[in-house]
A and B are shown apart, each in its own frame.
Chain A
Amino acid sequence: MKLSARIKPWLLLTPALLFLLLPLYGLWSAFRLSVYPDGKLTGQVYVRLFSHSDFLLSFFYSLWIAAASTFLSLLIGWFFTRAFVPMLERTGGRLTVWLPMVFPHFVWAYLVLLLFQEGGLVSGLLPGNRAYANDPEGVGIILTYMGKEIPFVILMLLPVYLTRNRLYDDLTETLGGCWISKIRDAELPFVTPVLIETGIIIFAFTFSAYEVPALVGATFPEMLSILTFDWFYSGDWSERPLAFAAMVFLTTVIGLISLLLFHFINKMRRNITEGL
């Protein structure tokens, strides 16, 4: 009985673990090719990578775009959720949030192109006909991600808001608190774990995705995914290990940030779920 109780979770997890083997194999393979570029173990590729000005620029550019997209999506998504919970409870309201999730990133990127490229519908109205698609600041990319990720944030937060005990708001008020104390003490602690979790997902995606920067990104600077794609398919075969090294590094950065934040929210979530 004891044995089966120990084995059971692993048996249930087997399909997920088997599926995880695929990306792990890809990562291992990329890592192997980045440290054995010529059949000999060497860290030379990583030395080249970290001294490559294009890589460093792309890395920080990607970091900025991912951080800005994540932060703005979380902030606006959170604001929308808390402001419109009663409307979102209804089917019509929920559908308006669901619909943008159905369209692919490509559609959103195309929409941003239509609206914000030179001569676009919105650009034409902006002072100096300023274009925000294919711009070096990455505003077009950020706008595309926001269009797609804000509804995702709302859908993640909605169940928390629907099940949240609103008596905590009353409690805070009777103990002398104002609206800021209500948000800080009665609302955010219950929302934060989901906000962080959603943030990790958005950050990991926007940091490394290819499609959107390829469509609405500038030719310079490039996001890391574009750079690695170029390295991978360039005519110069000596650049391919750089693409592998860059991807391994990117995965490691995202993995470490996720681990750190998961550790942080686990304690928070335990206190909240067991302490009510």
Chain B
Amino acid sequence: MNKMIEVRDATKHFGVGEVLKDVSFSVNEGEIFSVVGPSGGGKTTLLRCLAGLETFSAGEMSIDGDDMTHKKANERPVSLVFQEPLLFPHMTIRENVGYGLKFLDISKKEKSKRIDDFLSIVGLPEYENRYPRELSGGQKQRVALARGLILSPKLLLLDEPFSSLDRKLREEMRRWVRRLLKEKNITAVFVTHDQDEAMQVGDVIGVFREGTFEQIGSPEKVYENPQTSEVARFFGDAWVIDEMRFIPKRNLSIERIEIEEKVQWRGVIEGARFVKGYRFMEVLLDDEEEHIMLPAPEDFHTGENVYVSTDASNIRTFQQNREKR
């Protein structure tokens, strides 16, 4: 598959602080690359460098084989969709969608046709003469996406575009955006701090922390085989025993009694939690002084002493995963 974007040994300094540290990755044509990581880790800086709004302090990047390292933002075949929709409030929806076409050398007729097409694609043809103030948050973000896509960019960058939407709308938008990008075969880098969102939207996941990728791989691979304790803590639903070992949470259970052939940790039920229709119990582990949330089919009571149990074979090491790479 053709590599649409390639970044090699990229770094970025602001003063004495190093925000990006030897970042290297590539994204194939038509692939969606989710960059997920905690806030303040440098994700947005990475995206701004890819867009050309900032320059890498060192390193190279190319898009479709062309060197882009020193090109300005308005010379790159890249569109960026921001956290906020940033629609021009004084322009109609039609004018907003067609904004970038003003800078292209194409006929009026072609411009008009493209705007019509993209208004239909985002399902807002009847809103063309309205102003942004008349649209909901989700509709505004659709317009922002259409405004970016209408330029047929070789690379689409999405910087947490759903973060300002409510949960239900956010989930709808994730599905809709993924379907749209796949239909149009758009290469995209999607930045988020939400692991569910990263998995749902991306074909490939990159866990980004403290200015560098901790791990890159398919969502399933990163989820099942975290290579570092940080990836396991942030991305996988794993209980990290120490910096070397972890147990996937699905291999853990809560027991009332001590079972000799199992590995067990003593704890006390702190309370029940409900996540997406499932009941979980929060257990405070005695030795670890750590909370762990596990599904609990039985009706445990708050304050009850329990054992968090697993088979010894379920204990895995990060080293194993690194070797599997």
Which residues of A approach B to under 8 Å, CB–CB? 165, 167-168, 170-171, 173-178, 181, 185-186, 189, 268, 270-276
Contact B100 A176 (CB under 8 A): yes
Contact A176 B80 (CB under 8 A): no
A274 — which chain B residues lie within 8 A by C-beta? Answer: 89, 133
B74 contacts the other chain (CB 8 A): yes
Q: Ordered nearest first, which 5 A-B pairs have the shortest CB separation?
A: A275-B89, A176-B103, A274-B133, A175-B100, A275-B132
- Select which of A170, A175, A189 is within 8 A of B90 by beta carbon: A189
B80 — which chain A residues lie within 8 A by C-beta? Answer: 170-171, 174
Contact A170 B151 (CB under 8 A): no
Look across to chain A and name the residue whose beta carbon is closest to the beta carbon of B153. Answer: A174
CB-CB under 8 A for A175 and B87, given A170-B53, A170-B80, A270-B133: no
A270 — which chain B residues lie within 8 A by C-beta? Answer: 133
Contact B84 A167 (CB under 8 A): yes
- Select which of B78, B102, B104, B133 is within 8 A of A174 by beta carbon: B78
Known: A170-B53, A174-B73, A276-B132. 19 other contacts (CB 8 A): A165-B86, A167-B86, A168-B86, A168-B88, A170-B82, A171-B86, A173-B73, A174-B74, A174-B79, A176-B74, A176-B103, A176-B151, A178-B74, A181-B102, A268-B90, A272-B89, A272-B90, A273-B89, A276-B89
CB-CB under 8 A for A171 and B74, given A272-B90, A275-B89: no
B151 — which chain A residues lie within 8 A by C-beta? Answer: 175-176
B79 — which chain A residues lie within 8 A by C-beta? Answer: 174-175
From residue B186, how far is it (CB to closest CB) to chain A in Å? 15
**What number of A-B contacts does a CB cutoff of 8 Å give?**
76
A273 — which chain B residues lie within 8 A by C-beta? Answer: 89
Alpha-carbon distance between A185 and B87 when the two chains are bound, in angstroms:
11
Within residues 89 to 124 of chain B, which ones have a CB less than 8 A from any CB in chain A?
89-90, 99-100, 102-104
Look across to chain B and name the residue whose beta carbon is closest to the beta carbon of A189. Answer: B90
B193 contacts the other chain (CB 8 A): no
A186 — which chain B residues lie within 8 A by C-beta? Answer: 88
B219 contacts the other chain (CB 8 A): no
A167 — which chain B residues lie within 8 A by C-beta? Answer: 82, 84, 86
A175 — which chain B residues lie within 8 A by C-beta? Answer: 74, 79, 99-100, 103, 147-148, 151
B102 — which chain A residues lie within 8 A by C-beta? Answer: 176-177, 181
- Select which of A168, A170, A177 is within 8 A of B103 by beta carbon: A177
From residue A276, how far is it (CB to closest CB) to chain B in Å? 6
Interface string of B25-63 (1 = CB under 8 A from A): 000000000000000000000001001110000000000
